[in-house]
Amino acid sequence: MTFNFSTFANQIADVDRYFIRSESSVAQDLLQVVSTLKEQPEQVKDNALQLINYIRESSKNTIGVESMLREYSLSEAEGILLMCLAESLLRVPDGLTADRLIADKIVAGDWGEYVGKGDSWLMNASSWGLFLTGKFLNLGKLDSERAKRSLSGTIRRVGEPVIRSSVKIAMAVMGKQFVLGEDLGEAFKKAAKWEKDGYRYSYDMLGEGARTMADADRYFKAYADAIKSIAKVAKGAGPINGPGISIKLSALHPRYQFTQDQRVQSELFNRLMELTLLAKDADLNLTIDAEEADRLSLSLGLIERVMSDERLGDWGGFGLAVQAYHKATPVVLNFIRELAQANNRKMMVRLVKGAYWDYEIKHAQEGGHANFPVYTRKETTDVSYQVCAAQLLASREWIYPQFATHNAITTSHILAMTDDHTGFEFQRLHGMGEHLFEGMKQQGIYDGPVRIYAPVGEHEHLLAYLVRRLLENGANSSFVNKISDPDVPAEELIEDPAQKLHAHSTLAHPKIDLPQRILGARSNSNGWNLELLSDQTEAYAGIAEVDDVIKRLAENEFSGCAYEIIDPAAVAPPITTTTLMSAEDCKVALAHLSYESWAQLGSPARAVMLLKLADLLEENKVELAALLIREAGKLATDADAEIREAIDFCRYYAMDADKSSGRSPLGKVLCISPWNFPLAIFLGQVAACLAAGNAVLAKPSEQAMMVAKRAVELAYEAGIPSEVLQLIPTDGATAGGALLSDPEVAGIIFTGSTKTAQHIQSTVAKRGGRMPVIVAETGGQNAMVVDSTALPEQVTDDVIRSGFQSAGQRCSALRVLLLQEDIADSVIAMISGAMKELQIGDPKHPSIDVGPVIDEAALARLTAHESRMKGVAKLVYQCDLPADTEGGLFFPPTLYEIDSLDTLTEEVFGPVVHVLRYKAADFDSVFEQINATGFGLTMGIHSRIDSHVNTAVRKSGAGNVYVNRNIIGAVVGVQPFGGCGLSGTGPKAGGPNYLSRFLDYAPLQAQQVDYSGTGIESKSLPAKWQSLSVAQRWELLRQAEGEGVIVYHWAHDLVATKEVMPGPTGELNTLELRPRATVWIDPNVQHEQARGLILLALLAGNRVAMSSNAEIPARWSCLAEQGAFELVDLPNRAAHVKLLASGRFSVLVMAQDNELLAATAEVNGALPIIVDSFDQHLALQRFSHEVTVSVNTTAAGGNAALMASVD
């Protein structure tokens, strides 16, 4: 047959370009090619109908994986539960956690609905077992006391090991339907039966991608040994007629990625070449399995080098798998055909539809990539498969095609493309598609070769493979799923995919948002994919000229001290010297500010300028990245994320600006930003204040002032006047001394250390007059808790990212890893092995994983911590620093093991993670230990047990909780960021309550305090109130206030509701309000205003503390009985001042009083939340702390929700 190869490009360099082409454009090319294929439509349909009828008839009463997949659909809860159980149970080493996992999944499912419905014994046995086990485990839930006394309760207790063993056996039996054997010996015996019937085999040694070099060594040996074993049973049959092996490049090297190209081209290539030569000497076929799109170009480069090696001679057994769902697959096939021809050596190509579709969608959305590398419609993938099949059939002179499919219509199309049914083969997965290919033989449709792709490995290693198969074939749109459903007419299954695609009004799937559209009305920022050469080149393009930019930005006419601007990766010589502002310069800048005309401009006009600023940031991204890399020591990947965050902040607050309509701003606001996010946090603070109508003094950290100055230049270019935005490039002491005590400063936003935040609070509390608004985001003792159901590879990836990315210099970075002791040794070994592979050095090189710390002081603190740990902790692993880091400020990534959280007395801001073991039985108490540190910024939980996750989320005191993912990288408007306690005041940056904090509100009315006192001691009923649900609190408030409480229904809804945030597929992000603890209602607040605030504080879930001589209405007795109030005796003014200085309360509601306000300056610990306004919406926000929960819903192996939603 003929094919117009020129329709598609043919070079590796074209692959990346095709990935970002619009889906409609590529699909149109495919449809044009399909229209030229010479098929006989009626023959295609007739053959497909014959096969469907044969499959349905012959699969009755057989062991049918298809039946199980149909019954336990991904659109049903039981399908998801089954997938989660299969993914994790077999790796759990301890009985207690295994029992919890089984109970968690089995009890949640309605397995009785499936009993007796399936035709196959496998499905029915699974349903009966899961149904009975679920009933068994439910006994204790229905009536725990009765169950304990009953025989059933006795069986429940005694029978847990039996249940555990039975379910593990059931999972193993299910796995055997997909896996040929636990070792090659077992596999060969089972394969012999099929080989007698003419089938061939390709063996796949199961396993995850390598995280450590030890993993890679083990996989390499397994592959090499397998080749030798397969050679013995092949008996010289050759690569086409005999068995072969499939290998994964990700298993052969822990750093198989484009940014590590130098290592890949040496270390990985040598391993691949050695295996290839082993296969060549044994005359077997060796196929490189397909993996993620980011690795495609990299793999093609390796394949090109292998194919060009003359030692291969005329051996034609080298091959690769290609995935039809990739837009670039026709390009790959053209490249392979020409590569084989150029080397005068035939290749083998396995064409599959694709196994990582859901990952590719999520990855592109998260990264803000230009487009998806894959098609969003199944029909387009099917059409692509047809086109690629035609391309392969026309290339048989140089390529041996291998068509991997279980779809009757697909096989019928392939056979109809050519009358010559030689020179190719079909492939199927072990355990699937038997009846399709038997039917082709029995019906006389095709009697050519069929190869079985057969996974081999221990049960604990089959999990990821098993879940991928469940995902691929469990979706309702899957042919395998539909073929076993008698309610689906056969005619529906044989619809031509090209006709179905033509019938759509849009070629891209309307339910799958492009990366730029995932945030609804707000455009998502564009991101670089640094695994692509084109994006990587762009990311580093500004480095050559960045020093000239820095020198220009450093010029000024200030009168302060000289300051050297350095590159922390190469300290000497300094890049240049600048002059800092003096105290007088700061005061001049403050005097220059004027906010009145800016406020009167109106929120729509202000929003336009912020949107323009966002666009300018995007246009100047290359230059900004270079500044971040050079001045702040950032990696390109971190620079990309930071610029995106800055853009997102500008757009988010621009769209939020209408909240300021009709409201007055605070006035002049001082924004103090840190060095670790010198662009994103800097502009986030500034943009929110500007959007609300304020004028801003923007004080950046000295270590990265030039980044901030360039941002301000772009703000001016966007139309923001200089009288509403002034940069304060100076040190903290100078700025603080000049500005904090100035009454014109009406608000202060600070991100930095807890100690500095306390100093700011203390200083302004003493200055007199109304307290300025303070929003502080400080540090954290951030923890991640891991139980034994977690996947070690996922945990390792997330620990490396959370603890060591950005050299650990993130507020959200991981500091403490709490591992269940049953898995601690193995997980620690894997993390240590992954650390060994980290590349440390100058971030101007794409291969670097860990860059420098910011300055000498930061390095000194880390060195001091290192010295201290020698006496109190075990050093597990510390990376070696390369010789070329000597001129910079580098600290090696370090892993310690500690015996107690008390070992850590403060946050360690750098690439240091501390491991703490815990017992499975102590899971609940772990969170009390974490909360006892006083910090509450981020926390992570890795578990497949929903009850464990719910416990972690409920008990955590952190502002941002992450489930089965890393704990860094909060996205604006998706995961609003900020903590409580020692970690900050709130509201969360990038959240719905942030901008309104920078508006002015009328102050509370003061009254004379009566110190007559009662002479009684402080008293409090037991604190029942905080354990009540929102519904219970609302009912009690209704009893107390009658129907009048309805005026607070808006507050009830806010407290009771978890707001679902927008974001990428495969995540669930929610925002909720939780109580702080105890709210002090000062007796100096006018009675009627106090009453309304008391009710709001109680509704939010707090207890309310008041003076013991406060009048509590008799109708509130039902509240008092539930411990809603704490009464404190205040016999005199001195006792009043002492109480406010004690730090006893989370929130202080108080009217203006200079002496009382000054007393709060003495609080040692978390900054007090001071409410001095009667605005009820603002008060509810201050009485609550916001909690963001971000759940990776794909952790169990795939995005079932996405797969089901696009059916």
pLDDT digits (tens, 9 = 90+) for 899-915: 999 999 999 999 999 99
Low-confidence winner among 147-151, 734-738, 1114-1118, 1139-1143 (lowest mean pLDDT)? 147-151
- Please report which confidence band the pLDDT of residue 492 belongs to, taking 50, 70 and 90 as the band edges: confident
H helix or E strand, kind and range, residue 743: none
pLDDT tens column, 197-230 = 999 999 999 877 999 999 999 999 999 999 999 9
Interhelix angle for 12-19 vs 329-342, to 10°?
Answer: 180
**pLDDT higher than threshold 70 for residue 316:** yes
Would you tell me how many other CB atoms lie within 10 Å of the CB of residue 1087? 11
Q: How confident is the model at residue 431 (pLDDT cuts 50, 70, 90)?
A: confident
pLDDT of the residue at 71: 55
pLDDT for position 121: 36
pLDDT score of 1168:
93
CA nearest to 973, candidates 751, 1200, 648, 700: 648
Which CATH number characterizes residue 349's domain?
3.20.20.220
| Residue 696 clears pLDDT 90, i.e. is over it | yes
Q: What is the pLDDT of residue 781?
A: 97
Tell me, yes or no, whether 13 and 27 share the same domain.
yes
pLDDT number for residue 79: 59
Res 856: pLDDT: 98
Q: Please state the domain count of the chain.
A: 5
pLDDT at 1021 over 90: no
The predicted-structure confidence for 703-712, as pLDDT tens digits, reads as follows 999 999 999 9
User: Can you count the helices (H) and strands (E) in the chain?
Assistant: 49, 31
Once rounded to an integer, what is the mean pLDDT over residues 779-803?
A: 97
Beta carbons within 10 angstroms of residue 369's beta carbon: 22
Q: Are residues 250 and 389 in the same domain?
A: yes
Mean pLDDT for the stretch of residues 459-477: 63
SS3 1006: strand
- What DSSP element (H or E) covers 1002? none
- Given a cut of 80, whether residue 1 has pLDDT beyond it is no
> Quick one: 498 and 407 in the same domain?
yes
Q: Is the peptide bond preceding residue 987 cis, with omega within 30 degrees of 0?
A: yes
Give the model's confidence band at 176: pLDDT under 50 very low, under 70 low, under 90 confident, else very high. Answer: confident
Asked if 578 contacts 565 with a C-beta cutoff of 8 angstroms, the reply is yes
Q: Which amino acid is at 779?
A: G
Which residues are within 8 A (CB) of 1024 and not within 5 positions of it... i.e. 6 or more apart?
A: 1122, 1123
DSSP label at 1173?
Answer: B
The DSSP letter of residue 504 is: S
Q: Give the end of a domain, one of 724, 744, 777.
A: 777
Spatial distance between the Cα atoms of 629 and 635, rounded to a whole number of angstroms = 6
Is 777 among the catalytic positions?
yes
Do residues 1149 and 1077 both lie within one domain?
yes
> Percent of the chain at pLDDT above 70?
89
pLDDT band at 87 (very low <50, low <70, confident <90, very high): confident
Query: Which domain CATH number covers 806?
Result: 3.40.309.10
In a domain, 921, yes or no: yes
Say yes or no: 23 and 105 in one domain: no
* pLDDT at residue 149, rounded to an integer: 40
Helix or strand holding residue 751 (H, E): strand 745-751
Q: Worst-scoring range by mean pLDDT, 94-108, 558-572, 718-732, 817-831?
A: 94-108
**164 vs 1060, residue with greater confidence:** 1060
Domain ends where: 504, 525, 543?
504
Instruction: Tell me: do 413 and 287 sit in the same domain.
Output: yes
* Predicted local distance difference test score (pLDDT) of residue 303: 98
Report, as an integer, the average pLDDT of 334-354.
Answer: 97
Q: Worst-scoring range by mean pLDDT, 163-172, 366-375, 630-639, 1077-1086?
A: 163-172
Average pLDDT estimate for 619-643? 98
Catalytic site residue from 777, 1041, 1067, 1186: 777
Please tell me the least confidently modeled range out of 540-544, 605-609, 824-828, 1197-1201. 1197-1201
pLDDT at 73 over 70: no
**pLDDT higher than threshold 80 for residue 117:** no
Residue 731 included in any domain? yes
State residue 208's pLDDT score.
77
Quote the pLDDT of residue 970. Answer: 98
CA gap 895, 851 in Å, rounded: 17
Burial readout 555-594 (b: 16 or more C-beta within 10 A, e: otherwise) = eeebebeebebbbbbbeeeebbebbbbbbebbeebbeebe
Residue closest to 1000 by CA, chosen among 664, 661, 688: 664
Do residues 271 and 215 both lie within one domain? yes
Asked if the model's pLDDT at residue 471 lies above 50, the reply is yes
Within-domain flag for 525: no
Res 108: pLDDT:
57
Query: Is residue 395 domain-resident?
Result: yes
Counted residue by residue, the chain has a size of: 1207
**Per-residue pLDDT, 468:** 65
pLDDT tens per residue, range 266-315: 999 999 999 999 999 999 999 999 999 999 999 999 999 999 999 999 99
**pLDDT value at 92 more than 80:** yes
Residue 223 falls within a domain, yes or no? yes
**What pLDDT sits at residue 142?**
39
Give the least confident one: 69-73, 460-464, 589-593, 604-608.
69-73
Structure confidence at residue 132 (pLDDT): 38
Are both 718 and 807 inside the same structural domain?
no
597 and 577 in a common domain: yes
Residue pair 124/112 in contact by the 8 Å Cβ criterion:
no
The dihedral sign for the CA sequence 235, 240, 246, 247: positive
Residue 305 CB neighbour total at 10 angstroms: 13
CATH number of the domain residue 607 falls in? 3.40.605.10
What's the Cα-to-Cα distance from 950 to each of 282, 787, 956, 1004, rounded to whole Å?
Answer: 54, 13, 10, 39
The first and second tokens of residue 291, run together, are: 């993996």
State the average pLDDT over residues 735-753. Answer: 97
Per-residue pLDDT tens digits for 939-954: 999 999 999 999 999 9
Mean pLDDT of 376-401: 97
Q: Are the CB atoms for 693 and 669 separated by under 8 Å?
A: no
Residues 6+ apart with CB under 8 A from 662: none
Q: Are residues 813 and 932 in the same domain?
A: yes
Confidence label for 138 from pLDDT (cuts 50, 70 and 90): very low
**CA–centroid distance for 823 within its chain:** 23
Tell me, yes or no, whether 580 and 616 share the same domain: yes
Residue in 84, 586, 811, 980 annotated catalytic: 811
Q: Which of 141, 176, 211 is the last residue of a domain?
A: 176
CB burial of 94-103 (b: ≥16 within 10 Å; e: otherwise) equals bebbbbbbbb
Residue 8: predicted pLDDT: 96
DSSP assignments along 271-314, one per residue: HHHHHHHHHHHHT-EEEEPP--GGGHHHHHHHHHHHHT-GGGTT
* Tens-place pLDDT, residues 3-22: 999 999 999 999 999 999 99
Reply yes or no on whether the pLDDT at 157 is more than 60. no
pLDDT for the residue 143 = 40
CA distance 299 to 305: 10
266 domain residue, yes or no: yes
Within a 13 Å sphere around the CA of 657, how many CA atoms are in the beta-carbon half?
28
pLDDT band with cut points at 50, 70 and 90 for residue 85: confident
Bigger pLDDT: 390 vs 175: 390
Alpha helices in 344-462 (DSSP H): 357-367, 378-393, 408-417, 434-442
Q: Are residues 646 and 602 in the same domain?
A: yes
The whole-number average pLDDT for the span 842-853 is 98
Residue 1002, in any domain of the structure: no
Q: What is the pLDDT of residue 64?
A: 52
Q: Mean pLDDT, the chain, as a whole number?
A: 91
Give me the domain span that covers residue 645: 533-777
Any domain includes 104: yes
Q: Is 145 a catalytic residue?
A: no
